[in-house]
Amino acid sequence: MKELTATVIDPIGLHARPASYITAEASKYKCDILITNNKSNRTANLKSLMNVLTLGVKQNDSITIKFNGDDEDVASTGILEVLRDHKIIK
């Protein structure tokens, strides 16, 4: 299992557009990928846009993403790249 924790810097938070980028990336991988809003302690499947949006992640909220499965290393690298490229996290 791999784990990534970061703070959201997007001024609007994890809204539909950035969430769609990371859910599209997450869907490329076989491993299970879960995202948690550490402020509310709610967790969602990162492969489901609607689930991610229900977390209500806002700017400066801490998120944790957990990867579990055969391609977890590649998945964590891909997700981290998307998060940084779209300025969702630093």
pTM here is 0.96
**Per-residue pLDDT for the chain (90 aa), expressed as one digit of tens each?**
999 999 999 999 999 999 999 999 999 999 999 999 999 999 999 999 999 999 999 999 999 999 999 999 999 999 999 999 999 999
Task: Determine how many CB atoms are found less than 10 A away from the CB of residue 15.
Answer: 15
Q: Which of 2, 4, 6, 15 is catalytic?
A: 15
CB contact at 8 A, 1 and 72: yes
15 annotated active-site? yes
Q: How far is CA 18 from CA 45, 49, 73, 82, 88, in A?
A: 15, 10, 22, 9, 7
Q: State the sign of the Cα–Cα–Cα–Cα dihedral 63, 64, 69, 72.
A: positive
Which contiguous run of DSSP H or E holds residue 59? none
Which of the following CATH numbers is that of domain 2-85: 3.40.50.2300, 3.20.20.70, 3.30.1120.10, 3.30.1340.10? 3.30.1340.10
